Chains A and B, each alone.
Chain A
Amino acid sequence: MVLKNKVMKTMKGFALFIMLFTISLWSCHKVDQKELISEPTKTLKDCTIDPSFKWETAKSVDVRLTCGHSGVVYIIPVQGNFIYHKGFLSKGSEYHTKISVPAYIDKVKLRMNSAVHEVSIIDNKLVSSLP
């Protein structure tokens, strides 16, 4: 009987420990979540925006390309499986077009007849002479 009581006491203690441990873990988790999604204290009314800022998530890029031979040029992302632009370049004449890319993109690739060249966008301009 004494032994049974001892066992019961030990089991109760263990259950209490598990319960407190679980609660403590859960509490920690809640704090983490809160930190993760802490909202900005500022609202739009309070912010200072430069009048020249256009609120644009993309930029329009002037494209100027020349090539020593004719063919179809693809303007493609450095990473990603889509095409910014596709058109026919004539040997000896400058090809003009415009593309739109996300504002944070500063490089694209040019593909022509399977040759691929990486080109930088500088001051919203993409200029390249393909071989």
Chain B
Amino acid sequence: MKTKHSYFSLVLMIFLLIPVFGIATTRYVSLAGSNTSPYTSLADAATNIQTAIAVCNDGDVVLVNDGSYLLSSNVSITIGITVQSMNGAEFTIVDGNHLTRCFYIDNPNALLKGFTIQNGYNPFDFGGGIDINNAGTVENCIIQNCQARDGGGVALDYGGLVQNCIISNNIASNNGPEGYGGGVRLLNGGEIRNCEITYNSSVYLGGGVNIWESGKVKNCVISKNTCPNGAGIRTRNNGLVFNTISYYNNGTNYEVSGSGYYYYNCCTTPALSGSYSSNCISSEPMFVSIISGSEDYRLLSGSPCIDTGMNIEWMNTVPDLDGNPRIVNGTVDMGAYEFLAPVSPDSDGDGILDVDDDYPTDPTRAFNNYFPASGFGTLGFEDLWPAKGDYDFNDLVCDYQFKTVTNASNIIVEMFGTFTIKAFGATFHNGFGFQFPDDHVLSSDLEATGSNLQSGTYITLNPNGLESGQSRPTIIVYDDAFGLMPHPGSGIGVNTCLYAPNVTPVTLEIHLDFTGGSYTIEDVNINQFNPFIIVNKNRSREVHLPDYPPTSLADQGIFGQDDDNSNPATGRYYRTQNNLPWAINIYESFEYPVEKSEISHAYLHFIEWGESGGTLYPNWYQNIVGYRNDGNIYHH
């Protein structure tokens, strides 16, 4: 009986002592809660954070549901509890409404985690967003757009820890000349780790960080902050800085004052004095992006900040700002983010990661490059040369694009030329071809397929598919447009007269295999290819773009006849006396003039473009209001 009684007393004592020794209770905060104490379910949740904290005991957890919590006075955490968002800072906002500081923390076991803390206002005191007094921890928070005299974003006094936070756009100002630490101010202790501190400002000292006495900054990025005295970080007596990058601030990246300050394994410029630094560098940190509005403070491969920090014990348990392990490859990186080697595989082992490889399973090919890069270009020709034509540039209208395939060493493997015949306002049976622009490439190193030649053609090809008798590689795409697109029965030529039936354009593809040599894109220079028409099956009569030379098979005796004013000795080709061309190459797919409509009557700024030497209306060919007369442009 005595034993039974003793057992009952023990159970009763344990039950009574539970509140004293702290079995943690989870309390809830939600804007949709019923505000029913003790707030132990989401349905009964308190509707503001302070109300839930008021009923907490040490060790309790306050979980805050998604939403924006507007404050009229700061939330005070002075007992050892965790106040945490349910779904992270992205979804849970505590807003000081430009009236009040957002959080006050004073307990070594207090933890604030996972909030966006914004618009805190405390211009005559400490901490616009958060003030940690003596002790307490803040982590995984975004602290932004707050203002205080000391610590616009966060103030730490005599202790406290802030880690894995983004602290941006805060201001240290008393609305007068005083301001200490736009992002963070540390006074007589405190530590910040793995934080990104950017775009903060202070009117007096320390735009990003101001250490007044004895604070520590570890593995932070401090960039684009502004202040007249230490735009990045200002360290005074016993301020210690580890593994931190302070770069690209608007003003000095660092400033020192007093004594006992020291920088370990940091990256900043100008170089830190050896009297108060060790293992520091001044070269650029190589962030992924420093372009305003799209900054990314992760490190690029090859950054001098990789594996050059100082390992510290907490790094074994605290991840980096991305949540990845803080130490990779044995030595921590400088900055807030640990560099992780790209995870993209290289399936074909050609040295180009699959993410960059247009042929991830083919080790002989790596990249596609296109000319024009944005899509098809258009060539327009007049075919009455050496006599002037009607300048509708539609005796042949041909869209084109080249695809050049290179390997991992940037050597060309093959090339595809795609040509779409859209129209030819001609009675002549014209052919079309192109020549490489210079002598870099040997014809014998190429094999061409895809030429469309009619039976009994006037064109002679070598066994490798290139035209014979040429000094430079020359490819004939087709020898007679009428053989590909028959005349529809009315109209001049095909697809130039609105009254005539439309004929479906024909597309031809030329494949060029680079069987010999090692040619780069620069060697081949297909951007400067030399296209031409062959007029009425007369192989010696070619029409080219202005100042592009004829091929070896052209009759140079025609130069100078009729309206032609070429001068081969000076490289002047296919121009009239007043410098008009017989052909034009347009970088984009072009809607061409109807038959007998001069191009300047379809494209209204063409003449201004020409007379200005290309400076006025360089995009004259685009479909922009006021640029063209649609009535003179072919549509079907």
Contacts and interface: CB of A to CB of B under 8 A. Distances in A.
Nearest to A48: B611
- A54, A55, A71, A82, most chain B CB atoms within 10 A: A55
A58 interface: yes
Nearest to B584: A55
B600 interface: yes
B613 A102 contact: no
Which of the listed residues A38, A44, A72, A96 has the most CB atoms from chain B within 10 Å of its own CB?
Answer: A44
B313 interface: no
Contacts of A58: 372, 377, 527, 585, 587
Given A37-B604, A44-B598, A113-B288, A49 B619 contact: no
Contacts of A104: 618-619
B289 A114 contact: yes
A51 B368 CA distance: 36
Contacts of A115: 286-289, 300
Interface stretch (B7-15, B35-43, B249-257, B406-414): B406-414
A72 B410 CA distance: 11
B601 interface: yes
A113 B578 contact: no
B301 A69 contact: yes
Contact of B300 (A48, A91, A114, A118): A114
Contact of B580 (A49, A50, A99, A101): A49
Contacts of A48: 578, 611
A80 B289 CA distance: 19
A51 B574 CA distance: 12
Interface stretch (B45-53, B326-334, B621-629): B621-629
A119 B83 CA distance: 47
Given A98-B527, A113-B288, A118-B291, A131 B614 contact: no
29 contacts: A36-B626, A37-B604, A37-B630, A37-B631, A40-B607, A43-B600, A44-B391, A48-B578, A49-B610, A50-B579, A51-B575, A53-B610, A53-B614, A56-B614, A57-B588, A58-B372, A58-B585, A68-B286, A68-B302, A72-B367, A84-B373, A85-B373, A86-B358, A88-B410, A96-B520, A96-B522, A97-B520, A102-B587, A131-B300
Residue from A36, A52, A69, A98 having most chain B Cβ neighbours under 10 A: A98
B619 A44 contact: no
B352 A131 contact: no
Interface string A94-131: 01111111111000000001111110000000000001
9 pairs of A and B residues whose beta carbons are closest in the complex: A69-B302, A100-B527, A49-B579, A104-B618, A72-B356, A58-B587, A37-B629, A103-B618, A84-B373
Given A44-B391, A96-B522, 4 more contacts: A58-B372, A97-B521, A102-B588, A115-B300
Nearest to A44: B391
A71 B355 CA distance: 12
Contacts, number: 167
Contacts of A43: 598, 600
A99 B478 CA distance: 27
B351 A114 contact: no
Contacts of A52: 613
Contacts of B322: none
Given A98-B522, A103-B614, A131-B286, A36 B580 contact: no
A55 to B, nearest CB: 5
Contact of B369 (A40, A86, A102): A86
Interface in B585-636: 585-588, 598-601, 604, 606-608, 610-611, 613-614, 618-619, 621, 625-626, 628-631
A88 B369 CA distance: 12
A97 B522 contact: yes
B525 interface: yes
A4 to B, nearest CB: 51
A40 B609 CA distance: 12
Contacts of A55: 545-546, 581, 584, 610
A42 interface: yes
Contacts of B522: 96-98
Contacts of A113: 288, 300-301, 342
Nearest to B524: A98
A48 B629 CA distance: 23
Contact of A88 (B296, B351, B575, B618): B351
A22 B371 CA distance: 52
Contacts of B545: 55
A25 interface: no
Contacts of B601: 39-40
A97 B289 CA distance: 24
A88 B352 contact: yes
A117 to B, nearest CB: 8
Contact of B600 (A42, A69, A85, A103): A42
A72 B618 CA distance: 32
Contact of A54 (B289, B373, B547, B628): B547
A87 B545 CA distance: 30
A36 B391 CA distance: 23
A57 B611 contact: no
B587 A40 contact: no
Contacts of B587: 57-58, 100, 102-103
B273 interface: no
A60 interface: yes
A83 B584 CA distance: 24
A44 B33 CA distance: 78
Given A36-B625, A104-B618, A131-B286, A86 B611 contact: no
B366 interface: yes
Contact of B572 (A51, A53, A96, A101): A51
A69 B300 CA distance: 10
B29 to A, nearest CB: 39
Contacts of B301: 69, 71, 113
A3 interface: no
A53 B289 contact: no
B374 interface: yes
A50 B373 CA distance: 29
A47 interface: yes
B294 A116 contact: yes
B528 interface: yes
Nearest to A63: B522
A86 B367 contact: yes
B611 A49 contact: yes
A4 B621 CA distance: 62
A90 B108 CA distance: 52
